[in-house]
Amino acid sequence: MNENPLDRLKALLGEVYDLNATLSLLGWDQLTYMPGGGAEERGSAMATISRIMHLKLTSDELLKCLEECEKQTTGLPDDSDDYCLVKVTRREVTRRTRIPSKWVTEFAEATAIGQDKWERAKSTSDFPCFQPYLEKIIELRREYASFFQPYDHIYDPLLDEFEPGLKTRDVQKIFEVLREDQVSLIRELSEKPQVDSSFLYQYFPENAQWEFGSGVVSSMGFDWNRGREDSSAHPFTTTIGMDDVRITTRVLPENLSSALFSTIHEGGHALYELGFSRKLKRTPLATGASMAVHESQSRLWENLVGRSRSFWVHYYPKLQLLFPAQLANVPLDIFYKGINRVEPSLIRTESDEATYNLHIMLRLELEIALMERKIEVRDLPGLWKERMNEFLGVIPKDDVHGVLQDIHWAGGMVGYFPTYALGNVISAQLWECIQKNIPDLDDHISQGRFEPLLDWLRVNIHTHGAKFETQELVKRVTGTPIDPQPYLRYLRTKFTEIYS
């Protein structure tokens, strides 16, 4: 009996999924436990697996099977699992067939070594040490874009890798609206008396910080039987499989906010990855719709939940018990205002909600200029300082607090940064919808009950995995495509109240 084409396609894609899981495990180990000397060999191993995965996705066998499946799924509802699987596979195969396997191997090696060199350069604030490796990565990304000519903009292919369906002009249009309103809000807040946050910057034992953060993500719904938490130089989430999702954080002993909010942030990513429908297992649909949707989940938990007053009505007494010497004499209202202090800062991951998107806009401008060859890698440290002064009025004293602060370029993720700001926008758009559907949401949060919120996210966002592109998913849930206005309303309402 002939095998059903859809079953055969799923078997072939399952092999690719398994290879990607292996690649993810090697990448996670590299950033957590791998000894420093292993970077070169690890790069070779990851390059080999990347090449095999690429060859499987572009094989004649898979292409022929996919054509048969396209005929078989014609007429199915456009939201059915099988229809979406074939659609998403076709999109990925079409993208992959334009990329030479030699490039895939070279890129995997360059980024594996680049991430190791970045970590070493960051530890000593030595950008020149990292520069030649980043130059190679940037040149490879320029070459990647060339595979997709003709395009409207050279940045489009890079953005599409993380945000399928969106164009550079779409992002720039949204950012123009955000920038004007956020700069205006920041200017208004700067004229108000500043709130106190000094109590956040004293010694908080690292073990106690870790314990508190782990307790929070447990309450959020993180399943420790299907995940774990480790330490890394830059917090991240890695999915090895549907039942193996790992988060990392970085604890700063004299900054209470850093580990706490990065842990909640990564917990939000992990909850998304743990929420896909079991029917999507070992297929290309068992992943997030896009990085913007992924960031909407992490930023929703980090900011709309974790920085809300309701959240701290429940958690602040627990935090005070854990750190009595530091917080016993700090009232809840002062603490809430302190963790939401608006002040231009150097580090993206530790910036406040009102200024965060400006950090992203700076990176987007530099990435586009790099791709257009208007600037070169050697120009980045100086340009970073100039743009930080222009965008936020602060200037980093060294490259650790400047151009070396993020791991993304070392990992070749040029095109990723805009998704953070888009995630902020989508999170507020979803939040308005959630509040209508769960009118007593604040009461649940103030009691430490996150089940109603997580259930809503599971049903409306998580279960679908990658079945729908971002704009389609957002419109299905909220009724409109990505709209910056809910986010701007959220910022203005929240910070007008905090700054009276």
Can you give 374-412 as a three-state secondary structure string? Answer: CCCHHHHHHHHHHHHHHHHCCCCCCCCCCCCCCCCCCCC
Which of the residues 109, 163, 229, 266 is marked catalytic?
266
Helices (H) and strands (E) in the chain, counts: 21, 3
In the Cβ-directed half-sphere of 114, how many Cα atoms lie within 13 Å?
25
Collect all residues with Cβ–Cβ distance below 8 Å to 282 and sequence separation of at least 6.
10, 13, 14, 17, 18, 242
Tokens 């004649």, residue?
60
DSSP state at residue 37? G
- What is the rounded CA–CA span in Å between residue 495 and residue 500? 8
Asked if residue 150 has a cis previous peptide bond (ω within 30° of 0), the answer is yes
The answer to whether residue 266 is catalytic is: yes
Task: Name the amino acid, one letter, at 65.
Answer: C
Distances (CA, A) of 306 to 257, 351, 490: 11, 14, 15
Buried b (16+ CB within 10 A) or exposed e, 436-469: eebeebeebbbeeebebbbebbbebbbebbbbbb
* Residues acting as catalytic residues: 266
